[in-house]
A and B are shown apart, each in its own frame.
Chain A
Amino acid sequence: MERVIEWLRAKNPELTGEVGDDADLIESRLIDSLQFLEFIYLLEDISGRTIDLQEVTVDDFRTLTRIQERFLSPDAVEVG
């Protein structure tokens, strides 16, 4: 998850405080559709698993907690 937070900070230099586990990353525009490809690639690189966008929704990327559960935890199922 450190790499995800690092990425969010690099893309949003105005971000100074902590990113809460349940902060809404989409509503606050820390991730948007123009950065999405890069974000998907980051998650795939960290997890070693391919993400099939037919199998996920935008809500799966909404919070750090959800990202962890859906894509990064050892028991997360391959979504591809």
Chain B
Amino acid sequence: MPTGIGQVWDEEVRAAVDRLTEASTEHYYNPYKTFDWPADLQVDGLWMSADLMTVHGTEAAEQLDDEQLRALSKWESVNFYSLNVHGIRELMFEVTNRLYAPGFEVPTPFFHHFLGEENEHMWFFAEFCLRYGGKLYPSRAMAFPGDGKGSALLDNFIVFSRILIFEQIVDHFNSRMAADTSLNETIRAINRVHHQDESRHIAFGCQLVRALFERLLAAGNEEEISAARRYIERYIQASLEQLYSIDVYRDSGIPDPFAFRTRLLADPARQQAHQAIAGRTYAFYNRIGALPCTPR
């Protein structure tokens, strides 16, 4: 069984690359002229949809007054866009490394659109944070020496899964905020535009990840396949937990932010919220058999 990356891309991937490349060309826009950036963002209510906040549905939320809740919505939104900036930096690095690399000839045409669009998303998310929050929250992630030391097939599956999971979780927030008429129009606009572009990136990512996992099932050994499944489950959980930021709770004036975070994560309401946020991701990985509870 050949294991080269070039053998991974089947007709479905090729068709998706052609279709999505055409769609990106067709929908090309100038992001630098797309948004109104008012000097003062007039936010009368919350900065993000209430049901997307990490306190939603919890007992801890009941102890916050309106001012704390509004401050929390502002800093959680700045954290959300900051996570986007850092996530996009990582995915651009990984995709750039694969442009025209042997084995990546098939997806490379769409990689160009993907990179161009992601660069623009990074710009407008950072612009929002710097204009209205005065800062980006720093990344709290660090690469470890053991990362990326598996086979090429496993590493590619993990890299494109990290990108896909990040995009799907973000898109849950984007689609909700784009549709939330209670939010400020600039907030809705950046979420709407990102959601529109991400629908192509997610479709592309699903095809790459599906094809990579099918090849891993066919050509990988049991240990690698188990490692892949464990990683996906843990990565989804870690992605959800990074939404709960100590820096955000501190900036929002919440006393003892460490205990507050622990309380939120232990609240049963959040397990339900996590299922909603990552529902599409769990469904996709279950469908392709890449979660530990769904062996094929």
| Chain A contact residues, CB within 8 Å of chain B | 26-27, 29, 32-38, 40-41, 44-45, 52-54, 58
Contacts of B246 in A (CB 8 A): 41, 44
Is the Cβ of B140 less than 8 Å from the Cβ of A26? Answer: no
- The digit string for B204-244, where 1 denotes a CB below 8 A from any CB of A, is 00000000000000000000000000010011001001100
Does B147 touch A at the CB level, under 8 Å?
yes
Is the Cβ of B241 less than 8 Å from the Cβ of A26? Answer: no
- Report how many A-B pairs have Cβ atoms within 8 Å: 46
Is the Cβ of A53 less than 8 Å from the Cβ of B146? Answer: no
Does B138 touch A at the CB level, under 8 Å?
yes
A13 to chain B, nearest CB (A): 15
Does B132 touch A at the CB level, under 8 Å?
no
> Please, could you name 29 A-B residue pairs with CB atoms under 8 Å apart, sorted by A?
A26-B144, A26-B145, A27-B145, A29-B146, A33-B141, A33-B142, A33-B144, A33-B147, A34-B234, A34-B235, A34-B238, A35-B238, A36-B144, A37-B140, A37-B141, A37-B238, A37-B241, A38-B241, A40-B140, A41-B261, A44-B246, A44-B258, A52-B138, A53-B138, A53-B139, A53-B142, A54-B138, A58-B144, A58-B145
* Range of interface residues on B (Cβ < 8 Å): 10 to 19
Q: Which of B139, B146, B258 contacts A26 (CB 8 A)?
A: B146
| Chain B contact residues, CB within 8 Å of chain A | 138-147, 231, 234-235, 238, 241-242, 246, 258, 261
Q: Which of A32, A41, A45, A52 contacts B146 (CB 8 A)?
A: A32
Contacts of B235 in A (CB 8 A): 34
A58 to B141, CA, bound (A): 11
In the complex, besides A33-B141, A58-B143, A58-B144, 14 extra interface pairs with C-beta distance below 8 angstroms are A27-B146, A29-B146, A32-B144, A33-B143, A34-B234, A35-B238, A36-B140, A36-B142, A38-B241, A40-B140, A44-B246, A44-B258, A45-B258, A53-B141
Contacts of A40 in B (CB 8 A): 140
Is the Cβ of A41 less than 8 Å from the Cβ of B258? Answer: yes
Is the Cβ of B258 less than 8 Å from the Cβ of A58? Answer: no
A36 to B139, CA, bound (A): 12
A17 to B143, CA, bound (A): 27
A35 to B241, CA, bound (A): 10
For A56, the closest partner residue in chain B by CB is B142
A35 to B234, CA, bound (A): 9
For B247, the closest partner residue in chain A by CB is A50
A27 to B147, CA, bound (A): 11
Contacts of B140 in A (CB 8 A): 36-37, 40, 53
Contacts of A54 in B (CB 8 A): 138
